[in-house]
Amino acid sequence: MANEASLDTLPPLSGARLIGATIVLALAVFMNVLDVSIANVSIPTIAGDLAVSASQGTWIITVFAVCNAVTVPISGWLSRRFGQVRLFVFCTLLFTLFSWLCGFASNFELLLTFRGLQGAAAGPMIPISQSLLLACYPREKRGLANGIYGMTAVVGPIAGPILGGWITDHINWSWIFYINVPVGLVVAPACWLLLKDRETPVRREGVDLVGLVLLIIGVGSLQVMLDQGADKAWFQSDYIITLGVVAAIFLCVLVIWEWTAERPIIDIHLFRDRNFAVGTILLCLGYMVFFGAIVILPLWLQTGMGYTATWAGMATASMGILGVVASPLAGRLSDKVDARYLVTFGFFVFASVSFYNSHANPFITFEQIFLPRLPWGIGTAFFFIPLMAIAFSRLPTSELAGASALLNFLRQLFLGFGTSFATTLWDNRTSFHDHRLNSHLTPFDPATHQWLQQLQNQGLSLEQSQRLLANEVSHQALIMSTNDVFYVSGWIFAALMLVVWLAKSTQEESAAATAQAR
């Protein structure tokens, strides 16, 4: 079309139009990221209302994740086929429609159908919104744009369970989907009005059908395996083993096919760029460990410390509060300082906080849980946003959509890895500590005998004393396993501090790109 131009040749926006576009795109990202986790705490209520078991109810999460994981990596091809602005507006409208239909669903089968369609529509929204946002800013201010994007992406997963729990408890679970409707009805037309003259060129290229089939089967199998593995005892289940084998075969063939295909649906050649490869790998690994901690903390507080879902959510919120403030700062500094220093600082904060929080005890208070985790938000901002700056530092604007799609696709997969790894490690270490502690509890152990005798002296029977002792052992095992998870997280972040220096300086790349543009 005549009014379409390459994003590389379009001037950046300024003034009120830039502010408006930034707000609209940030709202879309927040709405999308929030929806990934907002339904998690509502599963028992939804399952009860729709007359299914709690284990069946988890498919609400799995179906969304599978469909989302399939459409995220093909966002680059879709944007070339239909144009970035059109694709974003269309997906936002579909996401809004399917959100309304999810809340309106009268049975579980309909909810799963609409939830899957909602996940598919949500897939392209994240990478395309990031590509459009970066194109609105000059190259030397991409860090600031990434900071704004990262602020919503960091806070969303933490805000989701809190908001979802409150809505479910005080209104109705349908409203965790209905709240997307007014946001979507504002974002879609506003985005079209602000950015329609910045539409990207459309190329009528064919569909890589082989790559698409390999992607759907491979990613779908992997995502179902990650979401259902813990409930099926992982590789003790033939079902999980089959999914793992299918995922491994199809994803390996996918990589080979896409590397040699003339018009690949996923541009794997982007990994030839060292900064994109290092930035993507580190962001995925860091996000994996970060999200694992978000999952484990409320689980421990509710199962081991007697917290309600609301209070567990409040305690978890401290991990993202300062991220709201730190994200724009980290983004702005990414434009002025070599991003490798910022990432090193972010990982150092994460490692330090993780090691500090690996010493919890049975008498820990809410304040002792909440306050030490506040720096976590700073660490998140200072590794998440500068790593995006590193990943995109050497790429032309025309490749941002495909690069963002690939990065966010892998980040989404590693989110599943992080959840599965953290919960499996937590469960295994809980069993280990429980068995180890129980091995010392014999009638011949003086400490055990004394503890039981003291309880009986207070009027409890021997059976009651033994039951209380067993509960205390379980309580201690949960605390020790939680400490182990944070301890392992600390060492992973410490190792990542070294790997970031494999990337090239973003300041040198930015200067070279600016000189080339002139």
pLDDT tens digits, residue range 369-414? 888 888 888 888 888 888 888 888 887 777 777 787 788 788 877 8
**pLDDT interval class at 444 (50, 70, 90):** low
- Which range among 109-123, 264-278, 467-481 has the greatest average pLDDT? 109-123
CA-CA distances (angstroms) from residue 481 to 7, 303, 472?
A: 50, 13, 14
Angle at 279 between CA 346 and CA 21, to 5 degrees: 85
What is the three-class DSSP state of 505? coil
pLDDT in tens, 341-351: 999 999 999 89
Residue 133: per-residue pLDDT: 84
Reading the block at residue 176, the tokens are 């965790």
| 510: DSSP letter | H
pLDDT in tens, 310-328: 777 778 777 777 877 888 8
Residue 54: per-residue pLDDT: 61
Rounded percentage of the chain residues whose pLDDT exceeds 90: 13
| Cα distance between residue 229 and residue 237, in whole Å | 9
Count of all residues that appear for the chain in the document: 518
Residue 509: per-residue pLDDT: 55
Is the CB of residue 46 less than 8 Å from the CB of residue 379?
A: no
Reading the block at residue 144, the tokens are 């600031």
CA-CA distances (angstroms) from residue 165 to 159, 176, 325?
A: 10, 9, 25
In terms of Cβ atoms closer than 10 Å to its own Cβ (0-12, 13-18, 19+), residue 54 is exposed
Reading the block at residue 499, the tokens are 């790997």
| 452: DSSP letter | H
Angle at 162 between CA 159 and CA 164, to 5 degrees: 100
Residue 449: per-residue pLDDT: 67
What is the three-class DSSP state of 440? coil
- Is the model's pLDDT at 130 over the cut of 70? yes
Is the CB of residue 459 less than 8 Å from the CB of residue 467?
A: no
Rounded average pLDDT over 416-445:
79
Rounded average pLDDT over 235-251:
88
- Which range among 231-240, 298-307, 367-376 has the greatest average pLDDT? 367-376
| Cα distance between residue 60 and residue 48, in whole Å | 13
Q: Which of 272, 287, 508 is nearest to 385 (CA)?
A: 287
What is the three-class DSSP state of 8? coil
Report CA Rg, the chain: 24
Reading the block at residue 171, the tokens are 């209104």
**pLDDT interval class at 338 (50, 70, 90):** confident
| Cα distance between residue 33 and residue 156, in whole Å | 5
Residue 2: per-residue pLDDT: 37
| Cα distance between residue 407 and residue 279, in whole Å | 9
- Is the model's pLDDT at 5 over the cut of 60? no
| Cα distance between residue 302 and residue 316, in whole Å | 12
Average pLDDT of every residue of the chain: 81
Rounded percentage of the chain residues whose pLDDT exceeds 70: 89
Reading the block at residue 458, the tokens are 């207070």
Alpha helices in 371-399 (DSSP H): 375-392
| Cα distance between residue 92 and residue 183, in whole Å | 10
Q: Give the DSSP H or E segment for 477.
A: helix 462-499
Is the CB of residue 248 less than 8 Å from the CB of residue 303?
A: no
Is the CB of residue 425 less than 8 Å from the CB of residue 300?
A: no
- Structure-model confidence comparison of residues 138 and 444, the more confident one: 138
**What backbone phi and psi angles, to 5 degrees, belong to 139?**
-55, -40
Residue 6: per-residue pLDDT: 52
Q: Which of 466, 489, 472, 480 is nearest to 432 (CA)?
A: 480
- Is the model's pLDDT at 491 over the cut of 90? yes
pLDDT in tens, 17-70: 888 888 888 888 888 877 776 776 677 778 788 887 766 776 777 788 778 878
Rounded average pLDDT over 78-89:
87
Residue recorded with tokens 């602005």 = 85
- Is the model's pLDDT at 283 over the cut of 80? yes
**pLDDT interval class at 216 (50, 70, 90):** confident
Residue 246: per-residue pLDDT: 92
**pLDDT interval class at 245 (50, 70, 90):** very high
Is the CB of residue 270 less than 8 Å from the CB of residue 399?
A: yes
pLDDT in tens, 150-196: 777 677 766 777 777 778 777 888 888 898 999 999 999 999 998 88
- Is the model's pLDDT at 443 over the cut of 80? no
Is the CB of residue 220 less than 8 Å from the CB of residue 243?
A: no
Global pTM value: 0.76
Handedness of CA 451, 457, 462, 465 (dihedral sign): negative
